[in-house]
Chains A and B, each alone.
With several copies, the nearest count.
Chain A
């Protein structure tokens, strides 16, 4: 269950991903699926890109206008899911959403994403901390349905 993290560390991780996001880009490649998502409450207005090959997420990226929290959380997500298969990615997303909503979750798969564990304290920002994750989940769910 939730490990006690050092606030300094958490802050550093968020700022690092915000200032130097690893996967904030628009891939110009037809094989990518894209999902646009925005929020009437925050400035957030992003596209999430997914490249899935043989059931494996070979790339994931995002682009657009986004606040600190949404940029960092989405960027961390992209790192977490790249290279994972669809099932595993969905599992990670599920655990993240459980964490955000203060339910028991499996912290072994969340890695840096754990820095958002206190988001509930600023409930109005839950949407920012989950906007990218929601978009990716929809892309994966949609994909999954087609397979059946």
Chain B
């Protein structure tokens, strides 16, 4: 297997080649759970559309237009290969949030009733909570929580304790964005299916960082975002087992997704995935997402995972030597490191890191509910990707050590 060399890899990324600075210091980007940098290949694909291939998709009879259709079809095939799905099971959306809204609306509100239950956890991102609350509102079904274990992790045993015949949907992240534990989704799915429930997996934090095989995991739906996997913003994917996609109602309606309709209101929708792709798509986004996916596959997802793991271990070891650091997820397996500095507000610490050219995210991380659980109103999160180096970690660790007074950021 190929070993990741982040120094070589950085040459592929304009944000590094252009030597982008922050606060007059070389940028150290540790906010990869929020969004990721894009390789030149992505920019090139986007520009190909903007400069040489501009046309709308499935709407015309000329070559330029046909070419767009072919490219979109190829992108769908690439994404399918990436997660071991079939091409027709890949729906393009504007991102994870839309993917989940689509299922919540098109499946949840259609099939659930007031006697049913949706199970989520306290660790879910707002985008994997609020749409289900809405299903609750619209159908009267209950939203209940699978308890996390003492580390804040979802473990299959805890699902077994709460699942019942009433459970119709289990909506959980493969990797959560605050604590970064990798969930045993395969086991979750097995249990769910025993009870006739479906698993809607939020892959926003997992798909970019590790191999994903939807057939092996046997998840029913999977969502992820392009921008978190070195692709463009405004584009993402909803994977669904084909039979379930057929059963799912469209979320948005409009041009391109209907076969025909008449004045009486009878509408025939196209088959999935077209059924869900109303209106003009984010075409350059699709081009860019394909390029991003090709890029990740060329590195190898297993290699990426292994390298991130190595980097995390290196960071945790060093951080543990700093007594002022409170680590919230030492045992997590992903590149997400959540911490606070004793006596310093998370936002203030992030501001201090910013003054040192280091990008971390503080705050409630969207998973606002979880913070009741952590007992902290806010934390700081550093999140890694394959282009981060040990030097990045060193700079980060030493900034945390030196940062005597966070207010220095104001006066330095």
CB neighbours of A68 from chain B (8 A)? 345, 348, 406-407
Q: What is the CA–CA distance of A119 and B61 in the complex, to the nearest angstrom?
A: 13
Chain A count of residues within 8 A CB distance of the other chain: 23
Tell me whether A128 and B347 are in contact in the complex, defined as CB-CB below 8 angstroms, given that A41-B58, A122-B354 are known contacts.
yes
Q: Which residues of chain A (21-68) have a CB below 8 Å from chain B? A: 38, 40-43, 45, 65, 67-68
Q: How far is the CB of B220 from chain A (nearest CB, A)?
A: 25
CB <8 Å contact, B410 and A118: yes
Of chain B, the residue at the smallest CB distance from A12 is B407
Tell me whether A119 and B410 are in contact in the complex, defined as CB-CB below 8 angstroms, given that A43-B363, A124-B65 are known contacts.
yes
CB <8 Å contact, B411 and A41: no
CB <8 Å contact, A43 and B60: no
CB neighbours of A38 from chain B (8 A)? 259-260
CB <8 Å contact, A124 and B62: yes
Tell me whether A118 and B411 are in contact in the complex, defined as CB-CB below 8 angstroms, given that A40-B58, A42-B363 are known contacts.
yes
Tell me whether A121 and B270 are in contact in the complex, defined as CB-CB below 8 angstroms, given that A43-B347, A43-B363 are known contacts.
no
Q: What is the CA–CA distance of A67 and B345 in the complex, to the nearest angstrom?
A: 6
Q: At the interface, yes or no: A14 with Cβ under 8 Å from chain B?
A: yes
CB <8 Å contact, A40 and B354: no
Q: At the interface, yes or no: B54 with Cβ under 8 Å from chain A?
A: no
Of chain B, the residue at the smallest CB distance from A128 is B347
Q: Which residues of chain B (245-280) have a CB below 8 Å from chain A? A: 256, 259-260, 270, 274
Q: What is the CA–CA distance of A124 and B260 in the complex, to the nearest angstrom?
A: 20
Tell me whether A122 and B351 are in contact in the complex, defined as CB-CB below 8 angstroms, given that A41-B58, A43-B364, A67-B345 are known contacts.
yes
Tell me whether A41 and B61 are in contact in the complex, defined as CB-CB below 8 angstroms, given that A67-B348, A124-B66, A128-B347 are known contacts.
yes
Q: What is the CA–CA distance of A60 and B364 in the complex, to the nearest angstrom?
A: 29
Q: At the interface, yes or no: B377 with Cβ under 8 Å from chain A?
A: yes
CB neighbours of B363 from chain A (8 A)? 41-43
Q: What is the CA–CA distance of A15 and B409 in the complex, to the nearest angstrom?
A: 14
Q: How far is the CB of A125 from chain B (nearest CB, A)?
A: 6
Option from B23, B66, B345 in Cβ contact (under 8 Å) with A43: B345
Q: At the interface, yes or no: A109 with Cβ under 8 Å from chain B?
A: no
CB <8 Å contact, B270 and A40: yes
CB <8 Å contact, B410 and A122: yes
CB <8 Å contact, A43 and B409: no
Q: How far is the CB of A102 from chain B (nearest CB, A)?
A: 14
CB neighbours of B409 from chain A (8 A)? 121-122
CB neighbours of A67 from chain B (8 A)? 345, 347-348
CB <8 Å contact, A65 and B60: no
Interface residues of A (CB under 8 A from B): 7, 10-11, 14-15, 38, 40-43, 45, 65, 67-69, 118-119, 121-125, 128
5 more contacts with CB within 8 A, not counting A67-B345, A118-B410, are A15-B407, A41-B58, A41-B363, A119-B410, A124-B351
- Please give me the 8 A-B residue pairs with the lowest Cβ-Cβ distance, nearest first: A7-B411, A124-B66, A124-B61, A43-B378, A67-B345, A123-B66, A11-B407, A67-B347
Interface residues of B (CB under 8 A from A): 23, 58-63, 65-66, 70, 256, 259-260, 270, 274, 345-348, 351, 354-355, 363-364, 377-378, 405-407, 409-412
The 22 listed contacts between A and B (C-beta, < 8 Å) are A10-B410, A10-B411, A11-B410, A14-B410, A15-B407, A40-B270, A40-B274, A43-B345, A43-B377, A43-B378, A67-B347, A68-B345, A69-B347, A118-B410, A122-B409, A122-B410, A124-B61, A124-B62, A124-B63, A124-B65, A124-B354, A125-B61
